[in-house]
Chain A
């Protein structure tokens, strides 16, 4: 039969085509293959709000001030030095000379002015060509940006704010090539041009983003030729690609795979605590939570060690408050609430709930920085049950969850905050100052403590870091005595590296700095 012959030929041809594939994907020299959890949305850091986009976009553009290799202290970036006026309203930056954007445009004060003003000035010709979600959050306090001379840029603020330098390290403060924005218009977000260690090369949708090295990078010579970023959602697929040599670096190793990577001869696991906090919010205005003894009791009732050990498999570090331990603003004397269910029961009895009460806990199914929200909340639920508080879990999709939190109807809710820097103002003020109550701001616990408010306000107006630290330490002690949330953990980021990758370090800001890598 003719058909049979054709079929057989086809099958043989297919096998011939596929069989020798095993050796087909050798690693190309000088090319670093990175597996991301999701595809970048676009590459203009001023127009995105997610980690994955920024992890790629920030290789292309840079900021005036930045973080050194292993911490989140502010150090010079595109600016060599700066001065702050006595009244805290003028920040003057001396810019690095001789730096050019990838398209040859010189980096100067005009570019600084352009990069910020396109976001905050509705009359700016390029304002309408993009959407800048955090323009107001970060730069709402900026009155003007002035180009004093080509090498001097000055920011004028509406009111003093001591964390302004830290704000300028954020992705939204990246300096872009004005020529490129003018040339590409609305498409600029898809092919950004900056001064960074890598330049944009190509993007196959859903498959890969390729960046090529910037041969004349001002800071140091980059040792790899290019980076290929691949979006792979499924954890097992990401890990398999790494172990079979099709990827060199993956981030966010799912907790259940941590031991597998640690015991593999083909990969190394890296861990680094991030500037992040995972908390169980409490509605401080609702009964019975308006009694601080009840909130203290809840903190004693939850076994944080067990959550970190059994659910997160060690990818979290115990939280004693919103501020990251071992940074300048943290109070090193502070201890996390111990797990003490007896004490919790006693406090509940004192507050008038000897046989506990019933409440609901809202949990998102997933979400940025949420780690493993449902399993973590399930442990919390059973911990609270043990002291007589009966909790109903309500899981929601992330978008619906955010909308629901603005109704102020929440009792208990699981949430996290990824500040990406160590300035206490950037985490305590938005989350806990009473002026930031939802829906106006992100204080969804509706927390209000007058002394605490006062301390934060005072710290904002103080430029001296030593004095600010003292104020923040007092504020943190207040949060222990009058807890707004149940403190849970700070995420420990994980990355798995192939053996040929050298010189990589995870950064506490959650940035993914592949420019320091060399390949063996």
Chain B
């Protein structure tokens, strides 16, 4: 297993290189550059030329890329063109907020999704099953943007139970409770679509598993129903579910940007969008690298989980 992990980690390097080349090309080949956007509608040709030269944009693309790569090799992602800040610290700081949000959404969607799925599978076509099917349809078809605003209007504006935006109270605050209160609405918003997917998948795989011979055997030998469902049923149904949860983790990480925007959550998604709009090359590249890295790591973790769930799986 250790050799497998080392090999997978070694594969990270070409993957990240590939990602960085693609993102570099896409950014530089799209129309408009940082100088253009900085000067906006007041731009004169003289100012543009001067600013482009100062920003090093007049060099050939491969020179700019190699220069950036050199910096990265030394563990420095450069300074943001707009914010004048070192990119690394900025991205890591924002990534933490995104991790908290996606982590909460993932825990929420997995817990609720599993519970709904199991309940539906144990009593198929019961009122609960039907209700969860309808709810799933809603969850899957509601745009994040809209759901976020609806939740905000209900729970913040009308009921006044929860704050509308931000990660902490505007001034003072900063403790765990403050964080949880602010986390509630964005986490639920972000989790909604994933709950649906996980619930539906759990239901179908559980239905299949519960029809297996070994389940009948377990029941025959007098195992309590709860243990039958959870230990004999769920654990064997988990492999496809874990795969989907892993995919969802990546999806949530990338999909957090809308939720972050609605709730002014200080995550890496909003930072990346700002960076793209401003053509802030070092900043966007830094963000993408960090996100890509975590994506690859999540996949690795999912692959390792398989062996734990099903000891028959071996890593070559």
A interface vs B, CB < 8 Å? 1, 14, 17-18, 21-22, 24-25, 28, 31, 33, 38-39, 41-42, 47, 49, 130-131, 133-134, 136-137, 140, 186-187, 189-190, 204-208, 210, 226, 228, 230-234, 236-238, 240-241, 243-244, 246-247, 367-369, 397-404, 415-417, 430, 436, 439-442
Contact = CB atoms under 8 A, between A and B. Distances in A.
Given A24-B178, A208-B170, A236 B149 contact: yes
A25 B173 contact: yes
A41 B283 CA distance: 13
A397 B277 contact: yes
B144 to A, nearest CB: 12
Interface in B24-54: 30-33, 35-48, 50-51, 54
B83 A42 contact: yes
A135 to B, nearest CB: 8
A233 B171 contact: no
A415 B41 contact: yes
Nearest to B271: A206
B69 interface: no
Contact of A237 (B180, B264, B274): B264
Contacts of A415: 41
Contact of A439 (B30, B45, B164, B265): B45
B41 A399 contact: no
B41 A416 contact: yes
B30 A400 contact: yes
Nearest to B155: A240
Contact of B41 (A133, A207, A402, A403): A402
Given A21-B177, A441-B44, A28 B172 contact: yes
A503 to B, nearest CB: 21
A441 B46 CA distance: 8
Contacts of B263: 234, 237
A285 to B, nearest CB: 18
A232 B165 contact: yes
Contacts of B41: 367-369, 402, 415-417, 442
B203 interface: no
Contact of A133 (B51, B90, B278): B51
Given A207-B266, A236-B149, 15 more contacts: A14-B180, A24-B173, A25-B169, A133-B35, A204-B266, A206-B266, A231-B264, A244-B160, A246-B163, A367-B41, A399-B30, A403-B36, A430-B42, A440-B44, A442-B44
Contact of B39 (A25, A49, A206, A238): A49
B162 A21 contact: yes
Contacts, number: 193
Nearest to A17: B177
A189 B165 CA distance: 27
B94 A205 contact: yes
B27 to A, nearest CB: 11
B31 A403 contact: yes
A76 to B, nearest CB: 27
Contacts of A14: 180
A42 B177 contact: no
A25 B85 contact: no
Contacts of B167: 206-207
Contact of A400 (B32, B157, B278): B32
Nearest to A41: B82
A399 B31 contact: yes
Contacts of A233: 261, 264, 270
A234 B166 contact: no
A190 B90 CA distance: 13
Most chain A Cβ neighbours within 10 Å, of B97, B163, B171, B278: B171
A49 B50 CA distance: 16
A42 B79 CA distance: 13
A436 B178 CA distance: 54
A1 B230 CA distance: 12
Interface string B126-166: 00000000000000000000000100110011001111111
Nearest to A401: B32
Given A18-B181, A49-B39, A430-B42, A205 B169 contact: no
A17 B180 contact: yes
Interface string B89-117: 01001100100000000000000000000
Contact of B84 (A47, A241, A403, A416): A47
B171 to A, nearest CB: 5
B63 interface: no
